C-alpha cells in the first residue's frame, strides 16, 4: 500500500509540476494550518453544567446515535481518537458549559480559569491550542430570547459578567499554552415576530460588548471575536447581532469578525465576503459548517462552497495567516467521532486543492481578460490527481489513507462507545 501511494504521488507531482505547482511545497504549507475542532460535536452541545438541559436559542442537534460522551474524560478520549485519524496537529474549541466544577453548581457569571485546568493540562500533553466560547444560550436567563440586548438590566449585567469571565479564562488558556486563545462571542438574541424597536436592542448590545471588552487583555493570550447571524429558531424575524452590526463593531473596535457558513441567506456564501472584510479588519474567524436550507450545522462535506472558502484564503497573499479556521457542526444521527474525522479531513482537503492551483498564472490570464484560458484551466484542474497528493500527505502524517480510518472508528465504537 505504501509503495502504491508513493508511486501515485510521484506521478501526480510530475503532472502538477508541468503547470508550475510544487506539491512538496504545498504539503509543507498545509502542515502549518491548524483547524479548531469543536468539542460540542462529541456530546451534541450538552456540556457538563446541566447534561439534561435542553438546547435553546437557535441551537439544535438531532439524532440519538449510541455512545455520546457524558463526561469530560469520555469527551477528551473521543477527541483524541478523532484527532489521531486526521493529518496535522490541530486545536480544540470549548464552550463555557464544558468547565469542570466537581459537581458544584457554578453560575455562569462565576466561571473561572480553575474550572478549565484539566483541559489545559490535557492540551499541554498533546500539544494542542484551545479556543473558547462564552455560552449565551440554554439558560433560564436566555429564555426570553435575549441576553446582552435584553431590556432588563439585571439580565444584561449577568451576561456581561459571563463574557468578562470567559475572556479571563481565554487569557489563562493562551498564557498557559503559549498559544493565543480565540474567544468567540455569539448571542442568540432576536425576536420571533416583527419588532417595533430595532434600534434599542442593538444599542444595548453594543453597550454590553463595550463593558465586556473594557478589561485590557494581552492579545498574545486572548483574541476576541464577534459573530453575526441572520436568524435562528425563535428569532426568525429579527436578530440583534446582524452582519451589519458585527461588521461595524469589529471594524470600530478592532475585533476579529467571525463568519459562520450557515448564518446568512441560503443563497449567500461567506467565501465572497472574505476579501471585502480583510480590507477592514486585521484577522477573521471562520465557523465552517454545512447549512441545508437553514443554519442546520451538518457535517462538512467537500462541496463547491467549502472549496471556494479555502480558495479565497489560499489565493490571496497573507489571508491564511490572518484567518482562524474553526468547525461548527453537530450531528447526533451518526457516529460522532466519524463526524469529526470526515468534517476536519474535508476542510484540510479543500485547503490542499486550493494550494495545488496555479493561482499566479490564472490571475495573469484574468488581468489580460483571457477568460477562456481561465475557465479552461479551472475546469481541467478538477480532474487533476489531488487525491494522490492527499493520500501521500496522510501517509506522511502516519494517519489512515482513504477510508482506512473507518474500521478503526468501528472498533473503537464496539469496544468503548458501546459500553457507555
- Predicted confidence (pLDDT) per residue in 66-76, tens digit: 999 999 999 99
Q: 61, 55 in Cβ contact below 8 A?
A: yes
Tell me what pLDDT residue 62 has.
81
Average pLDDT, stretch 378-390? 97
Q: Is residue 151 domain-resident? A: yes
Q: Residue 200 sits in which domain range?
A: 33-356
What whole-number distance in Å separates Cα of residue 192 and Cα of residue 381?
46
Tell me what pLDDT residue 51 has.
60
Tell me what pLDDT residue 231 has.
86
215, exposed or middle or buried, with CB in 10 Å at 0-12, 13-18, 19+? exposed
Tell me what pLDDT residue 54 has.
65
Q: Is residue 415 domain-resident? A: no
Average pLDDT, stretch 21-26? 98
* pLDDT surpassing 70 at residue 163: yes
* pLDDT surpassing 80 at residue 60: no
Tell me the pairing of strands 323-327 and 256-260. Answer: unpaired
Catalytic positions:
186, 227, 229, 260, 263, 287, 295, 297, 328
Q: What is the average pLDDT score of the chain? A: 96
Tell me what pLDDT residue 274 has.
98
Q: Is residue 112 domain-resident? A: yes
Tell me the pairing of strands 190-191 and 238-239. Answer: antiparallel
Tell me what pLDDT residue 53 has.
61
Average pLDDT, stretch 27-54? 90
Average pLDDT, stretch 231-238? 88
Q: Is residue 9 domain-resident? A: no
Q: Is residue 88 domain-resident? A: yes
Average pLDDT, stretch 288-295? 90
* pLDDT surpassing 70 at residue 58: no
Tell me the pairing of strands 238-239 and 256-260. Answer: unpaired
CATH of the domain at 287: 3.20.20.150
Lowest-confidence segment of 129-133, 194-198, 265-269 by average pLDDT: 265-269
Average pLDDT, stretch 44-69? 81
Tell me what pLDDT residue 293 has.
86
Q: 81, 119 in Cβ contact below 8 A?
A: no
Q: H/E element holding 127?
A: none
Tell me what pLDDT residue 338 has.
98
Q: Is residue 300 domain-resident? A: yes
- Domain count for the chain: 1
Tell me what pLDDT residue 345 has.
98
Q: Is residue 109 domain-resident? A: yes
Select from 212, 288, 226 the least CA-distant residue to 256.
Answer: 226
Q: 246, 280 in Cβ contact below 8 A?
A: no
DSSP 299: P
pLDDT-derived band at 294, boundaries 50, 70, 90: confident
Tell me what pLDDT residue 29 has.
98
What whole-number distance in Å separates Cα of residue 145 and Cα of residue 152?
12
Lowest-confidence segment of 154-163, 274-283, 285-294 by average pLDDT: 285-294
pLDDT-derived band at 52, boundaries 50, 70, 90: low
Q: Between the CA of residue 122 and those of 115, 129, 130, what are the distances in Å?
A: 13, 10, 10
* pLDDT surpassing 90 at residue 63: no
Q: How crowded is residue 269: how many other Cβ atoms within 10 Å of its Cβ?
A: 17
* pLDDT surpassing 80 at residue 323: yes
pTM of the model: 0.95
Q: Is residue 43 domain-resident? A: yes
Share of the chain above pLDDT 90, in %: 91
Average pLDDT, stretch 340-367? 98
Tell me the pairing of strands 284-288 and 323-327. Answer: parallel
Amino acid at each position: 500500500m505504501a509503495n502504491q501511494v508513493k508511486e501515485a504521488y510521484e506521478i501526480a507531482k510530475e503532472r502538477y509540476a508541468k503547470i508550475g505547482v510544487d506539491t512538496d511545497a504545498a504539503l509543507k504549507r498545509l502542515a502549518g494550518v491548524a483547524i479548531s475542532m469543536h468539542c460540542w460535536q462529541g456530546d451534541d452541545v450538552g456540556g457538563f453544567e446541566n447534561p439534561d438541559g435542553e438546547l435553546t436559542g437557535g441551537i439544535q442537534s438531532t439524532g440519538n446515535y449510541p455512545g455520546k460522551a457524558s463526561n469530560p474524560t469520555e469527551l477528551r478520549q473521543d477527541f483524541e481518537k478523532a484527532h489521531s485519524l486526521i493529518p496535522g496537529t490541530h486545536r480544540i474549541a470549548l464552550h463555557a458549559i464544558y468547565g469542570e466544577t466537581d459537581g458544584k453548581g457554578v453560575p455562569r457569571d462565576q466561571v473561572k480559569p480553575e474550572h478549565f485546568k484539566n483541559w489545559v493540562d490535557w492540551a499541554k500533553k498533546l500539544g494542542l491550542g484551545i479556543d473558547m466560547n462564552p455560552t449565551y444560550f440554554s439558560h433560564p436567563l436566555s429564555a426570553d430570547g435575549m441576553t446582552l440586548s435584553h431590556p432588563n438590566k439585571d439580565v444584561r449585567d449577568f451576561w456581561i459578567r459571563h463574557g468578562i469571565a470567559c475572556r479571563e479564562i481565554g487569557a489563562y488558556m493562551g498564557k498557559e499554552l503559549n498559544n493565543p486563545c480565540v474567544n468567540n462571542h455569539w448571542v442568540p438574541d432576536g425576536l420571533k415576530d416583527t419588532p417595533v424597536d430595532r434600534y434599542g436592542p442593538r444599542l444595548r448590545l453594543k453597550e454590553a460588548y463595550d463593558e465586556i471588552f473594557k478589561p485590557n487583555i494581552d492579545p498574545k493570550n486572548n483574541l476576541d471575536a464577534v459573530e453575526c447571524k441572520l436568524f435562528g429558531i425563535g428569532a426568525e424575524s429579527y436578530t440583534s447581532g446582524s452582519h451589519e452590526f458585527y461588521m461595524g463593531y469589529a471594524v470600530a473596535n478592532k475585533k476579529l469578525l467571525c463568519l459562520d457558513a450557515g448564518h446568512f441567506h441560503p443563497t449567500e456564501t461567506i467565501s465572497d465576503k472574505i476579501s471585502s472584510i480583510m480590507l477592514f479588519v486585521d484577522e477573521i474567524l471562520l465557523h465552517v459548517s454545512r447549512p441545508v436550507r437553514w443554519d442546520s450545522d451538518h457535517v462538512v462535506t467537500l462541496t463547491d462552497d467549502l472549496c471556494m472558502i479555502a480558495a479565497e484564503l489560499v489565493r490571496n497573499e497573507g489571508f491564511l495567516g490572518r484567518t482562524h479556521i474553526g468547525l461548527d457542526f453537530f450531528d447526533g444521527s451518526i457516529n460522532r467521532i466519524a463526524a469529526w474525522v470526515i468534517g476536519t479531513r474535508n476542510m484540510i482537503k479543500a485547503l490542499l486543492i486550493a494550494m495545488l492551483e496555479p493561482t499566479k498564472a490564472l490571475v495573469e490570464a484574468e488581468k489580460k481578460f483571457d477568460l477562456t484560458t481561465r475557465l479552461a484551466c479551472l475546469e481541467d484542474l478538477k480532474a487533476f490527481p489531488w487525491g494522490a497528493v492527499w493520500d501521500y500527505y496522510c501517509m506522511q502524517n502516519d494517519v489512515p489513507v482513504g477510508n482506512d480510518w473507518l474500521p478503526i472508528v468501528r472498533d473503537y465504537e464496539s469496544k468503548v462507545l458501546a459500553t457507555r
